[in-house]
């Protein structure tokens, strides 16, 4: 039977080791004129302007990921009321009072673990197990999402699984999930962490955050 969930971004589920998981976030800012949508549970990166953007927005290919967007807050220019959303729709889809910052709340702990779905079959559990401790990318799905739910549509690119050190995600486990246990179909939930993290004391360089064709 096909898996019930097939693409939902990177959902925080816990921390490496026995650290207390507060599910806390850090507040950053998004430029009020940023037209790029940034979906909930999608990777975001820091920029030289002091604001965050979606993965793929920076140039140079050396920007580590900052974390995963959990939601935003801004002041509507018409109503003058504070608006809370689970994603940033892009400046062309909202009316923002530029006298106030667009606040972005990011799950940015470098030890954060995430649940992510595979984008294709991974054959069987034995094959999936050989992917543990390997690396992978999200491909071009890293920047996609639903404007209805605000959630990311990104999924782990099975074809990218390799030992290549510059890939952005490290696979650390397979999640037990009876509703999503058909290894012959897309949607197997894997447990991953960010390989190259902006807040890590030591970090590999980033993984293709600039490549709009190859993805993240």
Tell me the pTM. Answer: 0.88
Amino acid 214: pLDDT: 38
Contact partners, residue 138, CB within 8 Å, separation at least 6: 43, 55, 116, 154, 155, 156, 157, 168, 169, 215, 216
- Sign for the CA dihedral angle at 120, 123, 129, 134 comes to negative
pLDDT over threshold 80, residue 37 = yes
**Domain limits of the chain?**
11-17+109-194, 26-107
Q: pLDDT digits over 125-143, tens only?
A: 999 999 999 999 887 777 8
List helix spans (H) across 23-112.
Answer: none
Q: How far apart are CA 96 and CA 169, in angstroms?
A: 34
User: CA 5, CA 3: separation in Å to the nearest integer?
Assistant: 6
- The confidence score (pLDDT) of residue 1 equals 66
59 or 203, higher pLDDT: 203
φ, ψ for residue 182, nearest 5 deg: -90, 95
Q: How many CB atoms lie within 10 A of CB 130?
A: 11
Report CA torsion sign: 188, 12, 71, 63.
Answer: negative
CA distance to 19, 184, 191, per residue, from 70 (Å) = 21, 31, 18
Quick: pLDDT tens for 163-213.
887 788 999 999 999 999 999 999 999 999 998 788 887 655 444 333 333
Nearest residue to 156 via CA among 172, 139, 134 = 139
């Amino acid at each position: 039977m096909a898996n019930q969930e097939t693409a939902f971004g990177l959902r925080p589920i816990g921390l490496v080791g026995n650290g207390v998981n507060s599910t806390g976030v850090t507040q950053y800012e998004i430029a009020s004129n940023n037209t790029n949508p940034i979906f909930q549970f999608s990777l975001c990166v820091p920029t030289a302007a002091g604001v965050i953007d979606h993965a793929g927005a920076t140039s140079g290919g050396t920007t580590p990921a900052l974390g995963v967007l959990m939601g935003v807050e801004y002041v509507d220019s018409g109503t003058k009321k504070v608006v809370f959303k689970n994603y940033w729709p892009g400046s062309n889809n909202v009316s923002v009072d530029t006298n106030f910052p667009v606040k972005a709340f990011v799950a940015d702990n470098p030890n954060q673990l995430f649940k992510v779905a595979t984008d294709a079959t991974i054959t069987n559990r034995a094959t999936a197990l050989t992917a543990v401790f390997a690396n992978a990318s999200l491909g071009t799905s890293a920047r996609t999402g639903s404007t209805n739910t605000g959630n990311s549509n990104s999924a782990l690119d099975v074809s990218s699984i390799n030992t290549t050190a510059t890939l952005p995600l490290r696979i650390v486990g397979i999640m037990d999930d009876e509703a999503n246990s058909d290894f012959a179909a897309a949607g197997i939930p894997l447990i991953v962490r960010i390989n190259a993290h902006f807040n890590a004391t030591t970090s590999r360089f980033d993984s293709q955050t600039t490549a709009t064709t190859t993805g993240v």
